[in-house]
């Protein structure tokens, strides 16, 4: 499993490497649709928003409002159809091939509701695999894996496979995996959706602490209003449009959609 060569290049101003600054995320005029049996189904309609560098935003709204779609566009998992989407000053819509793959591997860390761990691998191997796929040297990725498992309180369970871990423990491993390549943007899709209330609070506190300590931008999709209220900024999605709510300031709602 040893891969010792240099990482692929990543876009200018979107380079991983353990820096202390997160990435600014700016969407402008985003429209997105899916093909349905009766024609195109719009998900985003001329939507615009900004999440500042080192920002922390919760994406909220009813089911089907486009929260996960927006997260996938930002992470390069879905292609931008209309509009521009800049992350760290680079337009994600223009990335192709190796550049797009490198962006997903090293600039963005993903955390999913279903954890996404490989059952055949131990907790430590799941975390290390992400660094191996990014081309990190064996010694560096093992050191970083050990450090992150310690940071999320999983060192005693590092040799256990996911089936032997609780839901909260599996999400802690998933957080460590998301951070192993020192991304400057963390995208979490319902990271507490499969957890009880107490464990959800613990996982979010851990994620927020790691964000502050490591310096990255955090965007979280959640249906939980209490969890959403923890974020200084909320992006409220409804019928394809986006409103930005500044929960750290006056609490006012600022529409950032098009006409």
In whole angstroms, what separates CA 187 from the centre of its chain? 1
Domains of the chain, start order = 25-116+186-255 (3.40.50.300)
Torsion region of 184: left, alpha or beta (phi above 0 gives left; psi -120 to 50 gives alpha): alpha
**In this predicted model, what pLDDT tens digit does every residue of 12-37 receive, in sequence order?**
333 333 445 789 999 999 999 999 89
Tokens read off for 213? 């300590």
Give residue for tokens 């006409």: 259
**What end-to-end distance do the CA atoms of the chain give, in Å?**
52
Tokens read off for 227? 């969890």
Taking the CA atoms of 183, 186, 191 and 192 in sequence, report the sign of the dihedral they define. positive
Could you tell me if 33 and 40 are in contact, meaning their C-beta atoms sit under 8 angstroms apart? yes
Q: What is the mean pLDDT of residues 205-212?
A: 90
* Residue 245 banded pLDDT, cuts 50, 70, 90: confident
3-state secondary structure of 4: coil
d(CA 175, CA 223): 19
**In this predicted model, what pLDDT tens digit does every residue of 40-94 receive, in sequence order?**
999 999 999 999 999 999 999 988 889 999 999 999 999 999 999 999 998 998 9
d(CA 189, CA 198): 19
Taking the CA atoms of 130, 132, 135 and 138 in sequence, report the sign of the dihedral they define. positive
Q: What is the mean pLDDT of residues 95-122?
A: 91
Strand pairing category for 185-189 and 108-112: parallel
d(CA 1, CA 155): 22
Q: Does position 179 have pLDDT exceeding 80, yes or no?
A: yes
* Residue 9 banded pLDDT, cuts 50, 70, 90: very low
* Residue 255 banded pLDDT, cuts 50, 70, 90: very low
Q: Nearest CA to 240 among 92, 82, 112, 108? A: 82
């Amino acid at each position: 499993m040893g891969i010792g060569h240099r990482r692929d290049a990543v876009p200018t101003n979107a380079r991983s490497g353990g820096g202390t600054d997160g990435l600014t995320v700016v969407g402008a005029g985003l429209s997105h649709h899916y093909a349905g049996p009766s024609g195109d189904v719009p998900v985003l309609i001329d939507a615009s928003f900004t999440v500042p560098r080192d920002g922390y935003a919760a994406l909220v709204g009813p089911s089907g409002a486009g929260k996960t779609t927006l997260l996938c566009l930002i992470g390069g998992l879905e292609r931008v159809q209309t509009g521009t989407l800049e992350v760290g000053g680079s337009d994600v819509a223009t990335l192709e091939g190796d550049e797009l793959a490198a962006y997903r591997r090293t600039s963005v860390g993903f955390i999913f509701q279903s954890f996404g761990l490989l059952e055949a691998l131990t907790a430590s191997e799941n975390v290390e695999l992400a660094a191996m796929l990014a081309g990190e040297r064996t010694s560096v990725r093992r050191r970083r894996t050990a450090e992150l498992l310690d940071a999320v309180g999983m060192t005693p369970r590092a040799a256990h496979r996911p089936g032997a871990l609780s839901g909260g423990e599996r999400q802690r491993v998933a957080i460590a995996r998301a951070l192993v390549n020192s991304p400057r943007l963390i995208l979490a899709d319902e990271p507490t959706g499969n957890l009880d209330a107490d464990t959800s609070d613990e996982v979010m506190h851990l994620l927020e602490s790691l964000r502050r300590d490591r310096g990255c931008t955090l965007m979280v999709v959640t249906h939980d209003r209490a969890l959403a209220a923890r974020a200084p900024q909320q992006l409220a999605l409804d019928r394809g449009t986006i409103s930005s709510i500044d929960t750290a300031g006056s609490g006012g709602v600022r529409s950032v959609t098009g006409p």
